[in-house]
Structure 1
């Protein structure tokens, strides 16, 4: 299964040419990831941190009033990290393909931690290995 986040475009996201600035896409991915992870509920003093981002810019996204879709899914689940893969797109074109390595984190001890069985079960529901190489393509 995949998660779809309808990301609003803001006028402040534009560069001088009326395109969404490439640096803004990191914020879009963050918004989509937070929306996705909020589906599993909250755990006290538990969270996650980003260990790595990879972004491939495919085409310019012109600013407009309509939101853009960010489709995301999980491509890898390890003992203490997981990889989220994204496509920022409309129905007929992809603007960005990206991936993020996320590390579960215990804010009380200020240390990374292992993925819990409940988290693993949640992530497995969004796993799609068929598209694992999409961010690199």
Structure 2
């Protein structure tokens, strides 16, 4: 399974009074990694999308430091009109956060959700784990 890795810088403003990353800031970190993954010119996923759901498990405190933290992400589910991105915010030996985001392709001109294109599904499968198409062939064809 291929994983996309984003080196996320830590900013002084991300920290709370105790010197660790505020829990809400992790949503921004995940967003930065997801945008880096989906919006690069060489990627197939160029149309719009919206976030339908976030789920975050905080494992350890991340304290302020000058070095970036790695965010590894992969696609853990592909449906006809949504996909799930899973993440680990980590260093080599330590996982700070495990999270997932359900993303819905969106037609901003029509202001409604849309189905994934075949090219988008193909691109997402490159970063999928063994069970990525958990919706089954019927869900992808629907």
Aligned residue number for residue 69 of structure 2: 68
User: What does 1:1-137 align with in structure 2 at a 5 Å threshold?
Assistant: 1-39=2-40, 40=43, 43=46, 46-129=47-130
User: How many equivalent residue pairs?
Assistant: 129
TM norm structure 2: 0.87
> What residue ranges of structure 2 are gaps of 5+ in the alignment?
133-142
Distance in 2 (alpha carbons) for counterparts of 1:72 and 1:42:
15
> What residue ranges of structure 1 are gaps of 5+ in the alignment?
132-137
SS of alignment partner, residue 33 of structure 2: helix
Distance in 1 (alpha carbons) for counterparts of 2:65 and 2:18:
13
Moved over 2 A (4+): none
Distance in 2 (alpha carbons) for counterparts of 1:48 and 1:12:
28
Deviation at 1:129, TM superposition (A): 3.5
Q: Are the aligned partners of 2:45 and 2:120 in contact in 1 as well (CA < 8 Å)?
A: no
Instruction: Mark the CA change 1:56 to 1:33 in structure 2 (over 3 Å): closer, same or farther.
Output: same
Q: Deviations over 1:2-29 (max 9, x none)?
A: 0000000000000000101111000000
Q: Are the aligned partners of 2:10 and 2:69 in contact in 1 as well (CA < 8 Å)?
A: yes
CA RMSD of aligned residues (A): 1.4
TM norm structure 1: 0.90
Q: Deviations over 1:40-99 (max 9, x none)?
A: 1564xx310000000000000001000000000000000000000000000000000000
Instruction: Mark the CA change 1:73 to 1:42 in structure 2 (over 3 Å): closer, same or farther.
Output: closer
SS of alignment partner, residue 71 of structure 1: strand
